[in-house]
Chains A and B, each alone.
Chain A
Amino acid sequence: MSYIKKPKIIRDNESRNKLGMTVTDYEGVMSTLCAGCGHDSITGAIIQTVFDLNIEPHRLIKLSGIGCSSKTPAYFASQSHGFNSVHGRMPSVATGAHSANSELFCIGVSGDGDTLSIGMGQFTHAIRRNLNMLYVIENNGVYGLTKGQFSASADVGSTAKKGAANLQIPIDPCQVAISIGATFVARSFSGDKEQLVPLLKAGMMHRGFAMLDVISPCVTFNDHEGSTKSYLSTRETKREALYTDYVEPFTVIEVDYDQGSSIEVDLHEGGKVILRKAEKEFSPLNKSDSIRMIRESADAGEMLTGLLYIDENQPDFTEVENTVRKPLNEVPFDDLCPGSKSLAALQKNYK
């Protein structure tokens, strides 16, 4: 945190996106998180993402629950819509917001506590609904806001600051999400923006529920020797399954991709992802493959990162429910509220 405000300086050679906006225009208020928090770095990556995707601020809604992670939507896109909801209940609020206006880009920012403990039920049902949103878990393995108790994602044997080891089995949000039908599952690291930004972009442009588990070290309570989610240990155990590139719509691909070892997936909302295989045969288009790879890596003491599973063909929430595509404030009033006669006619059907 800092007492002075960040001065807003636009340099002459500052890059501008198609809307004529600078990166600074997508920033929010000053962060009050600890200096060096991984969450601030993810905020930086999200700012870069919405800047690169030329998203108009009024078409973006950012939602969160409670926790250090859930403070972060205040730190980006100040001009966009926002909702800081009850602990673990952000997916319900997101469902409501998305139902009212399905044209909004939804970013939900949550933490390992907000998602995997109190919000586990909400989280899994948002996946079942295939709600069209990007759900970022800022995962640091501890409850930072309440002074560093182990969270549900802490690995067995990982130690707290004073040395006590965690004995409970962790919940892996990626395995959970794939097993219950998530259509976009990825894992990344706050200290690797080269990997994180393309994944955020792909997640934004994916139709349906895009879950991104980002290991985001807690500098105050979980960045010591013995922690499995410190900066150093994450760098040591991180293994990139696939290199992900996001390609904007209508751009000529200049890089030569090896046809045999790269996979292209067109994204519903625009653009495509190109996945370059880093090592042995692995297809993120196959659920069993993905889960097997994640489990094998975990057994080998590694943390698999990259886009782990993608299915672009599943219908999303609005399609399944056949809800109106227009924002509700653009639907004529007579259609929204057909009147008491229509209600009486409807009720008659159920008698």
Chain B
Amino acid sequence: MRFSVLDWFKDEKGKLTSKKINDVVIPCDTVILAIGQENSFPWVERDIGLEFDQWEVPVVDSVTYESTIQGVFFGGDAAFGPQNIIEAVEHGHQAAISIHKYCEKESLTDRLEYGMNLITAKMGIHEWSYSNDYGYENRFEVPTVPMNERFKDINIEVELGFEPGQFQEEVERCLNCDIQTDFAANLCIECDACIDICPVNCLMITDNDDEDNLRKKIKTPADNLEQDLFVSEDLPQTGRVMLKDEDVCIHCGLCAERCPTAAWDMKKFTLKVPYALDEANAIDVNATKKAV
């Protein structure tokens, strides 16, 4: 197998380019090709009106996924370079909407908006529709086949996977990010129960102030400035505000369980992503009104 040893550097435009230094030959019995899905378009004529950017990939609109030629769409790595497969799936959905609109001769940019829904996760006084008993253990190591066993057979799968009990504990490490804490300021009687029970000390009731001071007032200061601080409306009894540092919340729901007035609730968040079928079935509200 011949390898080319390359030296990588940035040219004056900032583009990463390589220079071959030498060739190395490594003798092999079998070569398994596991990398190198192609993402270049030397076979596309450069005079058909399709514009390419400095990385030699087509210029694609980030909303409609349409190229510079009307009716030609790109998605996946071909659109914006290497990204993960979840994004590639999203590109496919969005491009499908565009293709539908293109065929129906509708405006590609006039699209349905993302929707969301919050529904309480409360099933009873101490019962939630999700598992809230947060497991604070460190990550378990996946059991593997012993080293001396691995080489006996090429078909051996090294990772054995978790035993049933182990993975039940492992999944409890989930931070339940789809569950949101929802606070109704008008119900709060400022009994401090949520602040006392919070296992990550992310709450506080205090006088309203500027953000820097508020961040320090939480029991364990909220020092991740990239995460917005949650500040409630004025509380009815004293006019103070409830603070929450969402950055460290584990969504265990203890604040909501301890709240005597149900001012705190745990709500399941659902993101509503429109698909091509939704666009096809979408009712033009204004048109319907006129018709009525």
Interface residues of A (CB under 8 A from B): 1-9, 11, 13-15, 23-24, 34-38, 40-41, 43-44, 190-191, 193, 217, 219, 223, 231-232, 235
Contact = CB atoms under 8 A, between A and B. Distances in A.
B161 interface: no
Contact of A231 (B191, B195, B199): B191
A41 B199 contact: no
B89 to A, nearest CB: 34
B199 A219 contact: no
Nearest to B256: A35
22 contacts: A1-B126, A2-B126, A2-B254, A4-B132, A5-B133, A7-B136, A8-B136, A11-B220, A13-B221, A23-B219, A34-B260, A35-B193, A35-B258, A40-B192, A43-B196, A44-B195, A190-B192, A191-B191, A193-B192, A223-B189, A223-B260, A231-B190
Describe B's contact surface by its main secondary structure.
loop
A34 B254 CA distance: 13
Interface in B123-182: 126, 132-136
Given A6-B252, A11-B200, A13-B221, 9 more contacts: A1-B126, A2-B254, A9-B250, A23-B219, A34-B260, A35-B260, A40-B196, A43-B196, A231-B237
Interface of B: 126, 132-136, 189-193, 195-197, 199-201, 219-221, 223, 237-238, 248, 250, 252, 254, 257-261
Contacts of A191: 190-192
Kindly list the 4 A-B residue pairs having the minimum CB-CB distance in the complex, ordered from nearest: A36-B260, A44-B196, A3-B126, A41-B192
Most B Cβ at <10 Å: residue of A15, A37, A38, A231: A231
Given A11-B248, A231-B189, A41 B133 contact: no
A50 to B, nearest CB: 15
Contacts of B135: 7
B206 to A, nearest CB: 9
Contacts, number: 92
Contacts of B195: 44
B237 A11 contact: no
A7 B134 contact: yes
Given A3-B126, A9-B250, A235-B237, A40 B193 contact: yes
Contact of A36 (B193, B200, B221, B248): B193
B237 A35 contact: no
B191 A41 contact: yes
Most A Cβ at <10 Å: residue of B135, B192, B195: B192
Given A7-B252, A13-B220, A36-B189, A2 B257 contact: yes
Contacts of A23: 201, 219
Contacts of A3: 126
A41 B200 contact: no
Contacts of A235: 237-238
A37 B197 contact: no
A231 B235 CA distance: 13
A231 B248 CA distance: 30
A60 to B, nearest CB: 19
A5 B135 CA distance: 10
A72 to B, nearest CB: 12
Given A14-B220, A35-B258, A235-B238, A41 B126 contact: no
A8 B199 CA distance: 7
A44 B191 CA distance: 11
Contacts of A38: 191
B95 to A, nearest CB: 43
A44 B221 CA distance: 18
Contacts of A11: 200-201, 220, 248
Contacts of A4: 126, 132-133, 252, 254
B199 A9 contact: yes
Nearest to B132: A4
Contacts of A2: 126, 197, 254, 257-258
Contacts of A1: 126
B213 to A, nearest CB: 15
Contact of B189 (A9, A34, A44, A232): A232
Nearest to A191: B190
Nearest to A15: B220
Nearest to A38: B191
Contact of A7 (B193, B199, B219, B257): B199
B258 A36 contact: yes
Given A7-B134, A7-B136, A41-B196, A36 B223 contact: no
A193 B220 CA distance: 16
Contacts of B200: 9, 11
A36 B220 contact: no
Given A3-B126, A11-B248, A36-B259, A41 B136 contact: no
A41 B197 CA distance: 9
Contacts of B223: 13
B243 to A, nearest CB: 15
A260 B261 CA distance: 45
A337 B275 CA distance: 89
Contacts of B257: 2, 35
Contacts of B220: 11, 13-15
A153 to B, nearest CB: 19
B272 to A, nearest CB: 31
A44 B135 CA distance: 24
B249 to A, nearest CB: 11
Contacts of A8: 136, 199
Nearest to A194: B206
A24 B134 CA distance: 16
Contact of B191 (A5, A14, A219): A219
A11 B219 CA distance: 12
A82 B220 CA distance: 29
Contacts of B261: 36
